[in-house]
Amino acid sequence: MAHKVTKIGVLTSGGDSPGMNAAIRAVVRTGLFHGLEVFGIMRGYQGMVEDDIIKMESRSVANIIQRGGTILKTARSKEFFEHEGRKKAYANLQKRGIDGLVIIGGDGSFRGAQKFSAEFDIPCVGLPGTIDKDMAGTDVTIGFDTAVNTAVQAIDKIRDTMDAHDRVFIVEVMGRDAGYIALHSGIATGAENILIPETKTDIEAIIHGLTEKEKRKKLVNLIVVAEGEEFGGGNEVAKVIRQRMPNADVRVTVLGHIQRGGAPTCEDRVVASHMGYYAVESLLLGRRNVMVGVINNKIHYTPLEKAVKEKHKIGTEWIKIQKILAS
């Protein structure tokens, strides 16, 4: 029989993503509804080590559902990597009687949770809070929809300038290891080329296409690049094109951290609220070390170990579709 959880802690860890606040709100209010005491752990695992832990009431999460970022803040924690740091963190939970944790973050955060849970026998439930959408065990992650919509709005504006000046525009979006933001925003904005870490960049084909356009005296071309593609992002791709095509007017825009911020979309608020509710339900049912995900619109539980090990893969048909639609 699983130990009954009575006091839970919630933290956000790793990179922030829009919708984290909606998830915090759902965890706090669902916990309180079930008569649990809920504690907010500030600055991720670092706050756990430093005892930066606050009691949360219903009003603690009033009026935050529409805000980007995270009210609990987030930080990288070197100390938590060490056993001594984790021991300190556990002592801080123990003195308050916290016997269950909800971790909102990405795979690094889940690795920490796994280790912590194994050492100190504390049940952990993970919620996928990452704009990259690269977690196995879920079709959606908290923050992806907002980030990709931010990218689309920016690229639409850039396209206006591109058309007016007959330029090649390279737009770099976030995605160090995953090309989802580039793929979705590229398809949505009619990009001629989309370069992502998951596929080999065919620079020859890009140069060939641009040379053909140059002959027709029309060089409008949009290339959406994930920061982690093999050449090393937008500026590197631009360098190659400029070397090979000295007459081309090539401009680079790096969208950077604007993709992380801003009010979450309706989709992200609903997804985060849904997942936050089920995180608490999971702890009450005695589930431990799982990530709450959504697959085919149904809540799905994946062991943290599996969520960390496997990446959500981009299907090759998407690359094919993009090529056909851009031709």
- Tokens read off for 303: 């062991």
Report whether 219 belongs to an annotated binding site.
Answer: yes
What crossing angle do the helices spanning 180-188 and 144-165 adopt, rounded to 10°?
50
Report whether 259 belongs to an annotated binding site.
Answer: yes
The verdict on whether 132 is a catalytic residue reads yes
Report whether 287 belongs to an annotated binding site.
Answer: no
Report whether 86 belongs to an annotated binding site.
Answer: no
Report whether 106 belongs to an annotated binding site.
Answer: yes
- The dihedral built from the CA positions of residue 296, 69, 146 and 177, taken in this order, carries a sign that is negative
Indicate the pairing of strand 298-303 with strand 250-254. unpaired
Determine the Cα–Cα distance for residues 124 and 189; give it in Å rounded to an integer.
40
Report whether 117 belongs to an annotated binding site.
Answer: no
Report whether 248 belongs to an annotated binding site.
Answer: no
Nearest to 158 by CA among 226, 250, 222, 207: 222
Report whether 108 belongs to an annotated binding site.
Answer: yes
Determine the Cα–Cα distance for residues 115 and 119; give it in Å rounded to an integer.
6
Determine the Cα–Cα distance for residues 93 and 204; give it in Å rounded to an integer.
57
Report whether 59 belongs to an annotated binding site.
Answer: no
Question: Are 168 and 212 in contact, with CB atoms under 8 Å apart?
Answer: no
Report whether 167 belongs to an annotated binding site.
Answer: yes
Report whether 93 belongs to an annotated binding site.
Answer: no
Determine the Cα–Cα distance for residues 68 and 320; give it in Å rounded to an integer.
34
Report whether 191 belongs to an annotated binding site.
Answer: yes
Question: Are 105 and 124 in contact, with CB atoms under 8 Å apart?
Answer: no
- List, in sequence order, every residue forming a beta bridge with 125; answer none if it has no partner: 102, 290
Report whether 34 belongs to an annotated binding site.
Answer: no
Considering the candidates 16, 99, 132, 134, report the single residue annotated as catalytic: 132
Report whether 159 belongs to an annotated binding site.
Answer: yes
Report whether 281 belongs to an annotated binding site.
Answer: no
263 — phi, psi (to 5°)?
A: -65, 135
Residue 298: which residues within 8 A CB-CB, separation 6 or more? none
Q: Per the annotation, where are the binding residues for ATP?
A: 15, 76-77, 106-109
Residue positions in the annotated binding site? 15, 25-29, 76-77, 106-109, 130-132, 159, 167, 174-176, 190-192, 216, 218-220, 227, 251, 257-260
From the annotation, which residues make up the binding site for substrate? Answer: 130-132, 167, 174-176, 227, 251, 257-260
Annotation: binding site for Mg(2+): 107
Q: Which residues are catalytic?
A: 132
Binding-site residue positions for ADP? 25-29, 159, 190-192, 216, 218-220
